[in-house]
Structure 1
Amino acid sequence: MSSIAIRPPTEVAGHVAATIDDIFAMIDGWRAVLEHGLSQDGALAAATVDPLVESFAVPAVSGGTLLTGAGFVATPGTLRDAEWHLAWWLGGSGVERAVRRLATIDDPSHEQFRDYTGLEWWRVPAQTGSRHLTGPYVDYVCTDDYTVTITTPVMVQGAMVGVVGADALVDRLERELLPAMRSGGTPATLVNASGRVVTSTDARREPGAILRGEGLIEAVRNAGESPVMLRSGAAVLACGDTSLALVIGV
């Protein structure tokens, strides 16, 4: 008889971390490109930003990647030729998968203008100076679907000139992560730092729902490589430094 290999929870958490870390590393590379390009005299302009961003964003969202959007969002007033500016590209769907640039309204007097500096994917990196994973949330601007957004600050001469980042559709992350999560042999749910479900082996736990339980949020935020045990019998493991955690056994 053949037996099915059961992966230990730490290995499952490691697979999640490696998947997200690949996205982190890609975005860190983009940040380096922008910080170098924009540090030149007179380079803080949309005319300089857009070609730089297009050079990495278009390949990143082309084909069958995990990413559905990528780009740069400028700090208001930083670029000399654009008070507000987004350089963001979206991957297509269907057979052709045509890539397009996100159309935006950058005039604050327009009734449909939206101040992006109040949104979590901007606000947290601006406050902390560090990268941040937002979501899952329904992205009504780009995809109308559950999305995870990762952003990190772009710094020039000690000032944040914007954030660079990427969007990943939750259903694409599920296709990548669920096989490993199921291989653990026990129910597993991946949550963000607020206990919001990213994906789960339990179909009743939909992306975006809040996973509740006594001590859960504290355990998620303090989890490490060793499992944190809850009174319910569930175990919580950090997925590296992604800010995500696996809740096992509930």
Structure 2
Amino acid sequence: MSTVTTRSPADVAFHVAATFDGIFALIDGWRALLEGGLTGASTLDSATVDALVETFAIPTVTGESLLTGAGFVAAPGALADARWHLAWWLATTGAPRGARRLATIDDPSHEQFRDYTALEWWRVPAATGVRHLTGPYVDYVCTDDYTVTVTTPVMQGDVMIGVVGADALVDRLERVLLPVLRSGDSPSTLVNASGRVVTSTDARREPGSMLRDAELMAAVRALPPAPATLSDGTSVLACGDTSLALVVGR
């Protein structure tokens, strides 16, 4: 006879953090690789950057991973030969998994050109100087599906030359995260720092939707350091230093 272990909210939050900690550690390693590999270069160009990015992006998207996209996006003007440049690879469908480079339009005069510096996954880390998790959102640039994107700045001295990061499809994340959320004894919802739902065992909260309760949003924004208990008994806990919050409530 088997027994089912019911996790405390703190234990659920810990296991959620562990899932994302692996992704964050991977991206931090890529940032270090780029910063180390590009330090001292007299001129930064797209060929030099692309060669470095290929070494981690292609193995990542073709391997057994939650990630379906990975790469580097250059700050406008950072490269000598390309004002706008994305070195981003996506997993292809089918078995075995392959990789394809994301096709982009880098001519600002083209009607389909998109200024990526206006997008959250660029804008927030550029403003804060630290890692950021964007989404879930429908990624019309890469996957046309609900996606979470994690990006972190790449620096040369005091200058940000771009961001490095990865995409994960929400449905893949849910396969890992929902069993963890269900192991608690109450309905649980995982949200990002903006109050957008990543996944939930509460049928009222769909991935991509926003929390609307003012008291709940205030508690999410205040995390960390301490868990919060709201007036209706709902608990809000930080998931490590991931910027994600676990909402456990009635």
TM range (shorter): over 0.9
SS at match of 2:137: strand
| Counterpart residue type for residue 238 of structure 1 | A
Whether 2:78 is the aligned partner of 1:78: answer yes
Deviations 1:193-227 (A, max 9, x none): 12111000123421101122241111112234643
Q: CA separation of 1:130/1:225 partners in 2, compared to 1, >3 Å: closer, same or farther?
A: closer
State the shift of 1:246 in Å.
0.5
Count of residue correspondences: 250
TM-score using structure 2 length: 0.96
SS at match of 2:179: helix
- Separation in structure 2 between the aligned mates of residue 234 and residue 212 of structure 1, nearest angstrom: 14
- Taking the aligned partners of 2:225 and 2:93, their CA distance within structure 1 comes to 37
How far did 1:112 drift?
0.7
Moved over 3 A (4+): none
1:43 Cα deviation after fit: 4.4
How far apart, CA to CA, are the structure 1 residues paired with 2:93 and 2:202? 27
Match for 1:52: what amino acid? L
Q: Indicate the residue corresponding to 1:130 in structure 2.
A: 130
TM-score by length of 1: 0.96
Partner SS state of residue 108, structure 1: coil
Task: Provide the secondary structure at the position in 2 that maps to 1:246.
Answer: strand
What SS does structure 1 have at the residue aligned with 2:247? strand
Instruction: Tell me, yes or no, if the aligned pair for 2:130 and 2:153 is still in contact at 8 Å.
Output: yes
Matches within 5 A, 1:2-21: 3-21=3-21
Distance in 1, Cα, partners of 2:96 & 2:35: 33
Partner of 1:197: 197
Query: For the residues of structure 2 that align with 1:43 and 1:80, how far apart are their CA atoms?
Result: 7
Tell me if structure 2 keeps the 8 A contact 1:214–1:230.
Answer: no
User: CA–CA distance in 2 between the matches of 1:192 and 1:249?
Assistant: 17
Q: Give per-residue Cα distances to partners, 1:102-135, cap 9 Å, x unaligned.
A: 0000111111111101111111111111111111
Structure 1, unaligned runs of 5 or more: none
SS at match of 2:218: helix
Q: Deviations over 1:117-165 (max 9, x none)?
A: 1111111111111111111100011111111111111001221000000
2:77 is the alignment partner of 1:87: no
Letter in structure 2 aligned against 1:170: V
Partner of 1:173: 173
Aligned letter for 2:69? G
Letter of the 1:57 counterpart: A
Equivalent residue runs for 1:84-123 within 5 Å: 84-123=84-123
Alignment partner, residue 142 of structure 1: 142
Aligned residue in 2 for 1:36: 36
CA RMSD, 1 decimal:
1.4
Could you tell me which amino acid in structure 1 is paired with residue 239 of structure 2?
A: C
- One-letter amino acid of the structure 1 residue matched with residue 49 of structure 2: V
| Cα separation, partners in 2 of 1:12 and 1:105, compared to 1, 3 Å | same
Counterpart of 1:62 in structure 2 is 62
Please tell me whether the aligned partners of residues 37 and 43 of structure 1 are also in contact (alpha carbons under 8 angstroms): no
Partner of 1:25: 25
Match of 1:216 in 2: 216
Secondary structure in structure 2 of the residue aligned to 1:72: strand
